[in-house]
Amino acid sequence: MNLDLSRLTAGRIRDAVASREVSAMELVEASYARIGALEERVHAFNQLTREIALRAAERVDSMVAEGAGLPPLAGVPVAFKDNMNVVGTNTTCSARILADHASVYDCTAVGRMLAAGALPIGKCNMDEFAFGSSTENSAFGPTHNPWDLDRVPGGSSGGSAAAVSAGMVTIALGSDTGGSIRQPGALTGTVAMKPTYGRVSRYGLVAFASSLDQIGPFTKTVEECAQALNAICGWDPMDATSVRRPEEDFTASLREGARGLRVGVVRDMLSAEGLAPDVRSQVLAAADTFAELGAEVGEVDLPHAKYGLDAYYIIGPAEASSNLARFDGIRYGYRVSDPNDVVDLYMRSRAEGFGAESIRRIMIGTYALSAGYYEAYYGQAQKVRTLIIEDFARAFERFDVLLTPTSPTVAFRIGEKADDPLQMYLSDVYTIPANLAGIPGVSIPCGLSEGLPVGLQILGPHFSESTVLRAAAAFEEARPFDVVPPLVGELAA
Ligand code: GLN
């Protein structure tokens, strides 16, 4: 069997393991062989977890030997963003202040992937504490986009996106607070989903903005995305925001097609400043594809969505400044060795332990929450959030799903926006509204522009993942994206 992971789906892997065509042990080796060939140039990982992967593979292989029924992701190589706790690893959030922070328990989503038989290959690079859209804000250096090593993979889950795009692993988990799964998904040509707020437990995920954070998968195909969701979704008593709902099989409606589906193209997002003409035309072409598939395609406006970015950059930093207060040099992580007194210890440990973007967010958030400014900033931002929620509610009276670009541009060059935070923040104009409203969204590749992938975002109302994925699967079938990054193509040649 050819073990080129960029050509193997999770389903194919599980079947091959079940029929003894390949062992889980061999799949671990295949994953590390690919990493060995490309990682030096890509830098998708902060840490490889060979020991843990081999133990997981041993368990799967002994199930096969015993003739036991295999769990749904048996033998599938996976990776986790480095803000998810995994026992036996450090959970660093790509931050100096947590560089030595050893996990003492498994994140629930991680535990669920392991219970499903997946093989944990490593922990992925990210923007420090998930602040960023390029994975350049990592204290351990940037990740490079497998499609063009001089370009960013997007962020903040750029390592997870690059690992799947380069065929190093089959599924990777990321977290999405303002777009950090969908935007890197778009920039690396992967399928990337942020589920409804509350669908996936965040227990064991280092918190960024607790009213926005959500865990989700990167995969190559829509079916694998649904399979990954099946594994990670579900109520968890350890996360008060996780929702108790009947179990759903997200693969069930994937083949129902787009006929009769009411698809709304978000018109005002397509006239927004900064949108690359190629991205715009590819999203419009995607809408045409839906029409050809028998969907009822129309147009809709989300008049307040354009204020989403502004509201997000109050709410996000406000919650982050409070969540990050615990990293103080006393209880976790980095501590200066020669403090003059306790205040000096706090101040210098934080000043030296946090990178520039983290410090910027903490300062913005602390300011926005301070007495006298709270109503003017945080209060106002929450009102804008309500207006955006109402915009979506109105749109979903007329449409089952909405189409937008995922990112206004294809992958930009490393360094291009690094010194201009506002330009960087603008990468997320199309993804942020879904976080503010708590609704699910997927990014799927819809074409290439100058050899780089373009992402189409499909949004649906709360808990409509099955419909969103059904639309994505119909599109994927009609317009398959079967190209691999040139780097990966060279390996196969
Ligand atoms: N890029 C956005 C930010 O910098 C979103 C990050 C995220 O979703 N974690 O905050």
Verify whether ligand 1 is closer than 6 Å to residue 74 (CB atom). no
Verify whether ligand 1 is closer than 6 Å to residue 312 (CB atom). no
Q: What distance in Å separates the CA atoms of residue 232 and residue 173, rounded to the nearest whole number?
A: 10
Verify whether ligand 1 is closer than 6 Å to residue 146 (CB atom). no
The predicted structure's pLDDT at residue 490: 87
Report CA-CA distances (Å) from 449 to 152, 288, 443, 484: 15, 18, 16, 14
Q: What are phi and psi of 459, to 5 degrees?
A: -115, 150
Q: Can the peptide bond before residue 464 be classed as cis, meaning omega within 30 degrees of 0?
A: no
Instruction: Encode burial over 49-64: b for 16+ CB neighbours within 10 A, e otherwise.
Output: beebbeebbeebbebb
Catalytic positions are 81, 156, 180
pTM above 0.85? yes
The predicted structure's pLDDT at residue 493: 67
Q: What distance in Å separates the CA atoms of residue 170 and residue 77, rounded to the nearest whole number?
A: 6
Question: How far is the centre of ligand 1, averaged over its atoms, from the C-alpha of 293 (Å)?
Answer: 34
The predicted structure's pLDDT at residue 196: 98
User: Nearest Cα to 143, choosing from 170, 122, 118?
Assistant: 122
Question: How far is the centre of ligand 1, averaged over its atoms, from the C-alpha of 311 (Å)?
Answer: 13
Pocket test for ligand 1, best of 82, 180, 457 (most atoms within 8 A of CB): 180
Phi-psi sector, 141: left (phi>0), alpha (psi -120 to 50), beta: left
Q: What distance in Å separates the CA atoms of residue 181 and residue 156, rounded to the nearest whole number?
A: 7
Question: How far is the centre of ligand 1, averaged over its atoms, from the C-alpha of 372 (Å)?
Answer: 27
The predicted structure's pLDDT at residue 139: 98
Q: What distance in Å separates the CA atoms of residue 328 and residue 446, rounded to the nearest whole number?
A: 44
Provide the residue type at 83 as one letter.
N
Atom of ligand 1 nearest to the CA of 313: 10
Q: What is the pLDDT of residues 97-123, one digit of tens each?
A: 999 999 999 999 999 999 999 999 999
Q: Are 393 and 262 in contact (CB under 8 A)?
A: no
The predicted structure's pLDDT at residue 331: 86
For CA atoms 98, 103, 108, 112, the dihedral sign is: positive
Verify whether ligand 1 is closer than 6 Å to residue 428 (CB atom). yes
Verify whether ligand 1 is closer than 6 Å to residue 179 (CB atom). yes
Question: How far is the centre of ligand 1, averaged over its atoms, from the C-alpha of 367 (Å)?
Answer: 19
Domains of the chain are 10-260+478-492 (3.90.1300.10), 307-381 (no CATH)
Atom of ligand 1 nearest to the CA of 312: 10
Verify whether ligand 1 is closer than 6 Å to residue 319 (CB atom). no
Q: Are 348 and 339 in contact (CB under 8 A)?
A: yes
Report residues of the chain scoring pLDDT below 50: none
The predicted structure's pLDDT at residue 273: 83
The predicted structure's pLDDT at residue 332: 80
Write the DSSP symbol of residue 207.
P
Verify whether ligand 1 is closer than 6 Å to residue 122 (CB atom). no
Question: How far is the centre of ligand 1, averaged over its atoms, from the C-alpha of 134 (Å)?
Answer: 9
Verify whether ligand 1 is closer than 6 Å to residue 313 (CB atom). no
**Residues near 60 by Cβ (< 8 Å), separated by ≥ 6?**
17, 24, 70, 74, 75, 117, 119
Closest Cα to atom 10 of ligand 1 = 131
Q: What distance in Å separates the CA atoms of residue 364 and residue 367, rounded to the nearest whole number?
A: 5
Write the DSSP symbol of residue 189.
T
Verify whether ligand 1 is closer than 6 Å to residue 83 (CB atom). no
Question: How far is the centre of ligand 1, averaged over its atoms, from the C-alpha of 7 (Å)?
Answer: 30
Atom of ligand 1 nearest to the CA of 157: 9
Pocket test for ligand 1, best of 133, 175, 457 (most atoms within 8 A of CB): 133
Verify whether ligand 1 is closer than 6 Å to residue 216 (CB atom). no
